[in-house]
Amino acid sequence: MTEPALQTERTAPRFKILAGGSELPIETELDVLDVKVSDYVEGAGTFTITFNNWSSSTQEFKKIGEDKLTEGTEVEVKVGFVDNLKSLIVGEITALEPQFSANESPTMKVFGYDRLHRFRRGRNTRSFVDMKDSEIAEKIARELQLRVDAEDTQITHQYVLQSNQSDIDFLLERARRIRYEVVVKDKTLFFRKAANNKSKIVSIEFGLTLTSFYPRLSTMRQVSEVIVQGWNHKTKEAIIGKAQQGDETSKMNGSKLGVAISESAFAAAKTFVVDKPVFSQGEATQIAKGLFNDMTVEFITGEGTAIGNTDIRAGEVVELLKLGQRFSGPYYVTSSTHIIDRKGYSTRFTVARNAT
């Protein structure tokens, strides 16, 4: 779809906050000063809600949310325009931060994370035998009573050690090796391939709904080939996995990969990876392709701001228009922050692209 530009209904942003499954009392909702929701392709999503904490009539501090907005309470934040509200996060309150100042009106900030924060609590040392990374993710998620949607990672590992790590650090480490993402939405853990090959979810145009964009094109990390090396102790043979042009998941509608541009401007270059333990040819190739795609998608990175749009979310592809031939096109959203305050509704985001 194409983002409508400055439509009348988009001048009246709305939000709805549910705590413990029900809406906030109207008197509490009227005290909301701003709402901020962020999500990332790597790590837990967050929310911050700022409340006025002072009663001008009684000249006393208010008891903001003492009955509902307490530690561990489930909070859902919905944002949008008119009656079209979309859920941006379902999370849990993890912190409260009142502000008492002689120069400013007292406020109360309520902070929270999606349920991925539960993976951060405590550290574990354990082993996983004859399991795929997707199966490991399923096992850990179920231990924390989450549903699981894990894309099959294909390769079975004889032995994987989680060494004094939190579950999230361990899972993110496993995901990064093969260019997977770890995300929680409501009560479901997604262990999925990074998907910069998706179709665009929305188009936003500079001068209309895209209010600012600051891209950076860099050839510094672009190499022609990634080679992962290991050693098979049983057969006493080298294990070598390779990835190069043709192994990219998508050119994102570009005509030329950053890798090809870098090679043409300078020279072909290779990167050898020897610090990641590998135990099979399939594992080495999988890691090489993951690292190659990670590297290519950093060819163009950028950050921007748009008129508030709930379609701009981490893990989606958006099309940026009217930025000139080299910088217009599809981009993979790596993070988004949605803000509603007295100025209105805006969306900040970071993106990446592998071609031009």
* pLDDT mean by block of 10 residues, the chain; 356 residues: 48 88 91 96 95 85 79 96 92 94 90 94 95 97 94 95 96 95 93 94 97 97 96 91 96 94 95 92 96 96 97 97 96 98 95 97
Spatial separation of the C-alpha atoms in residues 249 and 331, rounded to whole Å: 14
Question: Do 2 and 101 reside in the same domain of the chain?
Answer: yes
Question: Do 307 and 187 reside in the same domain of the chain?
Answer: no
Question: How many structural domains does the chain have?
Answer: 3
Query: Where in the sequence is the domain holding 266, given as residue range(s)?
Result: 219-296
pLDDT at 8: 45
Measured CA to CA in angstroms, residue 25 lies from 56, 68, 154 at distances of 19, 10, 49
Measured CA to CA in angstroms, residue 131 lies from 137, 138, 247 at distances of 10, 11, 25
Q: Within a domain: residue 140?
A: yes
Q: Within a domain: residue 356?
A: no
Q: Within a domain: residue 94?
A: yes
Question: Do 80 and 228 reside in the same domain of the chain?
Answer: no
CATH of the domain at 150: 3.55.50.30
Question: Do 209 and 315 reside in the same domain of the chain?
Answer: yes
pLDDT at 194: 94
pLDDT at 171: 96
pTM: 0.92
pLDDT at 63: 74
Structure tokens at 157: 């590992």
Token pair 């100042």 in the structure block, residue: 101
pLDDT at 59: 79
Token pair 């309150």 in the structure block, residue: 93
Question: Do 211 and 340 reside in the same domain of the chain?
Answer: yes
